[in-house]
């Protein structure tokens, strides 16, 4: 049991946490974060410092209740196909089962996405023996739509290897497009009815500006980098993500879960630390942003802490920008 959550304060301080995917399950708020290792290794652009080995689940009855750490719910040693780096996960619920989607490097060093199941939102989770066929890269985020179709969004540049999949096969030496070419988009696939495989091949999402022109690779204030999240508000799909090198959380909207998405603006300016990663969830009649920064370690990029704050919309459906404390 941990103290009452306060906006813009670390949810827990006994472990380092990041990449929070928040959901309301069984009337409570469940948070599925990465569990950052407390080590003193150096950083590189490949993200080797993010050497996570397990997942914990956090929950709160509400924002006036203490945070519960449900302990270790899945460990690397129990995932037959994975070799290292359990990065940003997400969870979903369908037909009595809870699903935990997570990226990890396989035994060839290639990032893939796996899935584990549980009868409880608090885990423990039992992994499938193999990664999801045709999956690649990182940062899965699952939207179960109102018609019960489930979409999985994923992909991340640099350490997340997305630029190495531009031809649909893994090209280890591939680099990103030229600055004046369209940026690489996140991927989306429809999940099968049992939520354990892709029903459709991953499709690249197009993110365009107000004139319908693709956001370009050199437009680092707006182009997709990693950490996709899709939520629905007033019939619109909101795709939010990190811009990576410019350290912002931004968003784009569409009438179709597969896009194209039209860029709208910034949700959160840069926080302390290199990465920024989030989720957006409705609890009762309010909306919340869960995010992380590196304040708990005074700026160490791989020792992060999960936080939350309220999120609100303008009359026209645009999201009001949030200023981190
Ligand atoms: O936590 C490891 C990686 O850092 C995540 O997968 C990215 O989104 C970034 O937050």
| β-bridge pairing 126-127 and 82-84 | unpaired
Please name the residue whose Cα sits nearest to atom 1 of ligand 1. 87
* Per-residue confidence in pLDDT tens, the chain, 325 aa: 677 889 999 999 999 999 999 999 999 999 999 999 999 999 999 999 999 999 999 999 999 999 999 999 999 999 999 999 999 999 999 999 999 999 999 999 999 999 999 999 999 999 999 999 999 999 999 999 999 999 999 999 999 999 999 998 999 999 999 999 999 999 999 999 999 999 999 999 999 999 999 999 999 999 999 999 999 999 999 999 999 999 999 999 999 999 999 999 999 999 999 999 999 999 999 999 999 999 999 999 999 999 999 999 999 999 999 998 6
State pTM to two decimals: 0.98
Instruction: Give the pLDDT confidence score for residue 168 in this predicted structure.
Output: 83
* Residues 25, 96: Cα–Cα separation, whole Å: 11
Active site (annotated) includes residue 310: no
* Residues 139, 134: Cα–Cα separation, whole Å: 15
Q: Ligand 1 centroid vs 87 CA: distance in angstroms?
A: 6
Q: Ligand 1 centroid vs 277 CA: distance in angstroms?
A: 7
* Residues 227, 89: Cα–Cα separation, whole Å: 10
Q: Any idea which residue has 């009438």 for tokens?
A: 255
* Residues 213, 209: Cα–Cα separation, whole Å: 5
* Alpha-carbon dihedral sign for residues 107, 110, 111, 113: negative
Query: To test the ligand 1 pocket, which listed residue (48, 139, 225) has its Cβ within 8 A of the most ligand atoms?
Result: 139
Please name the residue whose Cα sits nearest to atom 9 of ligand 1. 275
Instruction: Tell me the two tokens of residue 77.
Output: 């040693």
| Ligand 1 first shell, C-beta below 6 A | 18-19, 34, 50, 87-88, 138-139, 156, 226-227, 275, 277
Using only the alpha carbons of the chain, give its radius of gyration. Answer: 18
Active site (annotated) includes residue 226: yes
Q: Ligand 1 centroid vs 139 CA: distance in angstroms?
A: 7
Q: Ligand 1 centroid vs 9 CA: distance in angstroms?
A: 20
> CA 157, 24, 126, 73: dihedral to nearest 10 degrees?
80
Query: To test the ligand 1 pocket, which listed residue (90, 226, 305) has its Cβ within 8 A of the most ligand atoms?
Result: 226
Instruction: Give the pLDDT confidence score for residue 324 in this predicted structure.
Output: 80
> CA 40, 300, 240, 26: dihedral to nearest 10 degrees?
70
Select which of 106, 163, 226, 293 is catalytic.
Answer: 226
Exposure b/e, 184-222, CB count within 10 A at least 16 = b: bbbbbbbbeeebeebeeebebbbbbeeeeebbbbebbeb
CATH of domain 16-311: 2.115.10.20
Beta bridge partners of 29: 24, 60
Q: Ligand 1 centroid vs 19 CA: distance in angstroms?
A: 6
In order of 109, 150, 165, 179, 240, the CA distances from 169 in angstroms are: 15, 25, 6, 23, 26
* Residues 211, 271: Cα–Cα separation, whole Å: 30
Instruction: Give the pLDDT confidence score for residue 1 in this predicted structure.
Output: 61
């Amino acid at each position: 049991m941990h103290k009452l959550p306060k906006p813009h304060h670390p949810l827990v301080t006994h472990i380092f946490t990041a990449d929070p995917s928040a959901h309301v399950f069984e009337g409570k708020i469940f948070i599925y974060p990465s569990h950052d290792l407390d080590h003193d290794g150096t950083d590189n652009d490949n993200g080797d410092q993010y050497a996570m080995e397990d997942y914990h689940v956090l929950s709160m009855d509400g924002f006036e209740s203490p945070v519960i750490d449900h302990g270790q719910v899945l460990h690397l040693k129990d995932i037959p196909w994975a070799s290292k780096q359990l990065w940003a996960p997400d969870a979903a619920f369908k037909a009595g089962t809870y699903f935990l989607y997570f990226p990890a490097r396989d035994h060839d060093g290639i990032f893939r996405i796996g899935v584990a199941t549980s009868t409880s939102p608090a885990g423990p989770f039992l992994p499938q023996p193999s990664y999801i066929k045709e999956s690649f890269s990182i940062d899965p985020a699952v939207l179960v739509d109102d018609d019960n179709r489930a979409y999985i969004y994923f992909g991340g540049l640099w350490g997340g290897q997305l630029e190495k999949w531009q031809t649909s096969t893994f090209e280890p030496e591939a680099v990103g497009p030229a600055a004046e070419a369209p940026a690489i988009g996140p991927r989306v696939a429809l999940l099968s009815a049992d939520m354990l495989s892709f029903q459709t091949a991953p499709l690249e999402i197009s993110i365009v500006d107000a004139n319908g022109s693709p956001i370009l690779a050199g437009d680092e204030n707006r182009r997709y980098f990693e950490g996709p999240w899709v939520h629905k508000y007033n019939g619109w799909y909101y795709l939010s993500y990190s811009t990576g090198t410019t350290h912002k959380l931004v968003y784009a909207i569409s009438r179709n879960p597969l896009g194209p998405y039209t860029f709208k603006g910034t949700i959160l300016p840069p926080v302390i630390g290199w990465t920024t990663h989030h989720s957006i969830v409705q609890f009762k009649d309010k909306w919340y942003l869960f995010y992380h920064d590196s304040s708990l370690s005074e700026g160490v990029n791989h020792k992060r802490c999960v936080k939350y704050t309220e999120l609100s919309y303008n009359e026209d459906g645009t999201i009001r920008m949030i200023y981190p404390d």
